[in-house]
Structure 1
Amino acid sequence: MRQKVRIAPSILSADFARLGDEVRAMDAAGADLIHIDVMDGHYVPNLTIGPGVVRALRPLTRLPFDVHLMCSPVDGLLPAFAEAGADILTVHPDAGPHTHRTVQLIKSLGRKAGIALNPATPVAALDHLWDDIDLVLVMSVNPGFGGQAFIASQLDKIRALRARIDAGERPIDLEVDGGVNVETAQACVAAGADMLVAGTASFTGGPDAYASNIARLKGRP
């Protein structure tokens, strides 16, 4: 049975001057995970944070840290992020020469392994990985920046992935990231997503609005 939709606020949209307080506030507001976007200025044209920030945030919440590494090469970074407190490590299949080996490395570190599919990356990129991964992340924008518009063609990919997951024997989370707001969240969930990454839609309005933001993303008034 598919899980109820879970919301993973992306700290890329948080106030970095008070990042610890922002994470605590999202925990109190009902977030299910904390999504951490790691960009290297190489795989994507932006540069964000390293494992030191993850380590500093880890004592502030018991929520799982959902770490999305938009980095290439990625393998050398995985042990540091695992040690810093990541619970899920998600990589792109073109971020290294041997995706299966990368997934094996994540699992050897005791972490859940995710694969992210960019808008032009086909579902077939997951062939021969289904038995080892725990999460598929559909990028509904091209990675690298927050605040982009949702690419509606990715709904077909979500549907195809949902059918493939449901036909299998292993529980695999189906996550969507990019342009998620109250309206697009409903479309993603209808297509089969059970985890939604939301940056701007989560952090809009300041801490007093966070609980309402998350409730609305979950389809509650």
Structure 2
Amino acid sequence: MIAPSILSADFARLAEAADSVSRADWLHVDVMDAHFVPNLTIGLPVVKSLHAATDIPLDCHLMIDDPDRWAPPYAEAGAANVTFHIEAAHDPVATARAIRAAGALAGLSVKPGTEIEPYLDVLREFDTLLVMTVEPGFGGQEFMAEVLPKVRLAREHVRSGHLRLFVEVDGGIGEDTIEAAAAAGADVFVAGSAVFGADDPGCAVESLRSTARGSMAV
């Protein structure tokens, strides 16, 4: 699945940006609070408005402090998938259950320097694992191939039946990197500048999807 990131879109024309990628699987929304990461983007009111403006399922990535408090309202606002960072959570299991109870999928994200082995049992409570392939906070960074072993490990556990979740990657995803991420086992790909920096964002989505399908791990 391809999830274009509106972090790379024109914030004054978010509804138009969504329309330009109408065949995307998810629309990735980066929520940053200038505390957990050194950047400030958008919050709950914009997500509510965007949900009303598009039929594309919203994939909200919360790079914020205190996600235990703030994550469930994003599900209540209509997000299809709400992901928060393990590094910021106090009770990830309770938060995941609250997100699910509000009607959304629950996602857990890890920074490049965070290993997933300590959280394999916790991940049974989640629908999505988001492996950051850049340091969270800003778009346009270079893809970090050194984190792909985490993607492979997650895929192995999905294949064995220990976990049942999407394996998502976010950061530096484009035509030159999506093949490696797909081969490692990712099945959801967040792409920002590779989509919204293209002359035709819709065609960019289709091209990325085709490239990923040809390289995906079985």
The count of residues paired between Structure 1 and Structure 2 equals 212
Give the letter for the 1:211 counterpart: G
Tell me the CA shift for residue 78 of structure 1: 2.0
Aligned to 2:8: 13
SS at match of 2:130: strand
SS at match of 2:2: strand
Check the 8 A contact 2:134/2:144 in 1, yes or no.
yes
Partners in 2 of 1:109 and 1:204 — Cα distance? Answer: 34
Check the 8 A contact 1:177/1:196 in 2, yes or no.
yes
TM-score by length of 2: 0.92
Moved over 4 A (4+): none
2:33 paired with 1:22: no
Aligned to 1:67: 60
Give the letter for the 2:191 counterpart: A
Give the alignment partner of residue 201 of structure 2, picking from 210, 213, 219: 210
Q: How does 1:42-61 map to 2 (within 5 A)?
A: 42-61=35-54
Give the alignment partner of residue 28 of structure 2, picking from 35, 45, 51: 35
Q: How does 1:1-221 map to 2 (within 5 A)?
A: 6-27=1-22, 30-168=23-161, 171-206=164-199, 209-220=200-211
Tell me the CA shift for residue 145 of structure 1: 0.4
**CA offset digits 1:97-149 (Å, max 9, x no partner):** 22222212212222111000111111124232232110000100010000000
Gaps (5+ residues) in structure 1? 1-5
Check the 8 A contact 1:113/1:134 in 2, yes or no.
yes
Aligned to 1:3: none
Measured on the aligned residues, the alpha-carbon RMSD in Å equals 1.6
Partners in 1 of 2:97 and 2:72 — Cα distance? Answer: 12
Tell me the CA shift for residue 169 of structure 1: 5.8
Percent identical across equivalent pairs?
43
Partners in 1 of 2:4 and 2:114 — Cα distance? Answer: 24
Partners in 2 of 1:13 and 1:73 — Cα distance? Answer: 25
Gaps (5+ residues) in structure 2? 212-218
Partners in 2 of 1:192 and 1:79 — Cα distance? Answer: 28
Partners in 2 of 1:103 and 1:129 — Cα distance? Answer: 10
Give the letter for the 1:101 counterpart: A
Check the 8 A contact 2:60/2:83 in 1, yes or no.
yes
Check the 8 A contact 1:186/1:219 in 2, yes or no.
no
Tell me the CA shift for residue 59 of structure 1: 2.1
Give the letter for the 1:96 counterpart: A
Partners in 2 of 1:166 and 1:117 — Cα distance? Answer: 20
Partners in 2 of 1:127 and 1:138 — Cα distance? Answer: 13
Tell me the CA shift for residue 40 of structure 1: 0.6
Check the 8 A contact 2:107/2:126 in 1, yes or no.
yes
Partners in 2 of 1:83 and 1:160 — Cα distance? Answer: 32
